[in-house]
């Protein structure tokens, strides 16, 4: 690894979030949505994930839904021989989130990933299976050693309050939701509530959809980036982790873009810059529906 890569890794390792169970993780990880869809990109995508590990972006997020399991298989190949470096997250579909189906779904994910245990297992979104049942069976998976911890995804404040009121519901360690500069609705109520609960947000699509083209066109982001000799998307990504309670998981199949994402960890935005971004991307003034893509 080059000295530049070592420096980037040091920055990434210095920016952390703490899960509700006390686990400390880097604030920048890697998403895998749409990975594995194009077989022609397979080796490049594997290289991208391994580059992320080299840069200290050890959290790799995937799901049984992504490519019908192909993303999990790809992640499994990427971490082969490097399992101890990676913090593996997968997600269960809501129709599989209870009873024998949950056990079978988890075993399927473990098999595709080629591992014996998941570091974190998430309910992908809420469905018809009662949360009480999901919590009970997540706890069983944990007791059986198939997962180390569990959490949820795409749950808003009302659902989160219900979750934590259940027996063992307060063992949920995180909530994964969409969050980026142009989608700040969670700042009105969900994020403050989660801060009170000492529960971090995992931000998916932190650079928006379409590779961040919308954010990349922002004049404000361009101005701040030019001052710092960075890219607009590095500034946008740095903004998501500034609070210390967000773990961002940008997805890219390009190893060069992975290194660029990792470089965002070196940026601490000044108050003036944060105010500029607030004017360009206003904070929510009322309750907003949870954005889901």
What are the Cα distances from residue 111, in Å, to 7, 76, 108, 116, 231? 35, 9, 5, 8, 39
Domains of the chain in start order, with CATH, are 3-210+239-267 (3.20.20.100)
Instruction: Give the integer Cα–Cα distance in Å for 119 and 89.
Output: 6
Phi, psi of 290 (to 5 degrees): -65, 125
Assigned token pair, 96: 């599989």
Higher-confidence residue: 230 or 3? 230
Above 80 in pLDDT, residue 1?
no
Residue 124 assigned ligand-binding role:
yes
Give me the percent of the chain exceeding a pLDDT of 90: 93
Q: Extract long-range pairs of 187-193: CB within 8 Å, 24+ residues apart.
A: 187/283, 187/284, 188/283, 188/284, 188/285, 188/286, 188/287, 188/288, 189/157, 189/287, 190/156, 190/157, 190/160, 190/290, 191/245, 193/157, 193/160, 193/161
What are the Cα distances from residue 11, in Å, to 5, 26, 115, 238? 10, 10, 29, 12
Above 90 in pLDDT, residue 210?
no
Which residue is catalytic, options 11, 66, 179, 204? Answer: 66
Above 80 in pLDDT, residue 213?
no
pLDDT tens by residue, 280-293: 999 999 999 998 87
Binning pLDDT at 50, 70 and 90, where does residue 6 land? confident
- Average pLDDT value over all residues in the chain: 95
Instruction: Give the integer Cα–Cα distance in Å for 16 and 28.
Output: 8
pLDDT tens by residue, 74-126: 999 999 999 999 999 999 999 999 999 999 999 999 999 999 999 999 999 99
pLDDT tens by residue, 134-187: 999 999 999 999 999 999 999 999 999 999 999 999 999 999 999 999 999 999
Active site residue 66: yes
């Amino acid at each position: 690894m080059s000295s530049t890569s070592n420096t980037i890794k040091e920055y990434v390792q210095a920016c952390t979030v703490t899960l509700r169970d006390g686990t400390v993780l880097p604030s920048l990880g890697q998403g895998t949505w749409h990975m594995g869809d194009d077989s022609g990109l397979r080796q490049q995508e594997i290289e991208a994930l391994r580059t992320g590990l080299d840069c200290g972006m050890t959290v790799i997020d995937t799901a049984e839904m992504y490519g019908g399991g192909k993303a999990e298989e790809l992640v499994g190949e990427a971490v082969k021989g490097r399992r101890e470096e990676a913090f593996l997250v997968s997600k269960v579909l809501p129709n599989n989130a209870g009873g024998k189906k949950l056990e079978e779904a988890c075993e399927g994910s473990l098999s595709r990933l080629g591992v014996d245990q998941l570091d974190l297992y998430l309910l992908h979104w809420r469905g018809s299976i009662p949360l009480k049942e999901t919590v009970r069976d997540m706890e069983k998976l944990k007791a059986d050693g198939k997962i180390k911890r569990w959490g949820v995804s795409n749950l808003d404040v009302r659902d989160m309050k219900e979750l934590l009121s259940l027996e063992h519901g307060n063992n949920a360690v995180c909530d994964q939701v969409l969050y980026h500069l142009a989608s700040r609705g969670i700042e009105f109520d969900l994020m403050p509530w989660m801060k009170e609960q000492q529960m971090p947000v995992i931000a998916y699509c932190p650079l928006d959809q379409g590779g961040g083209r919308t954010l990349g066109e922002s004049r404000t982001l361009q101005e701040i980036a030019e001052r710092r000799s960075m890219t607009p998307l590095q500034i946008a990504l740095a903004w998501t982790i500034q609070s210390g309670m967000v773990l961002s998981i940008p997805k890219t199949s390009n190893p060069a873009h992975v290194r660029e994402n990792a470089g965002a960890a070196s940026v601490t935005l000044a108050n003036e810059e944060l105010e500029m971004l607030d004017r360009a991307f206003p904070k929510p003034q009322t309750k907003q529906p949870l954005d889901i893509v």
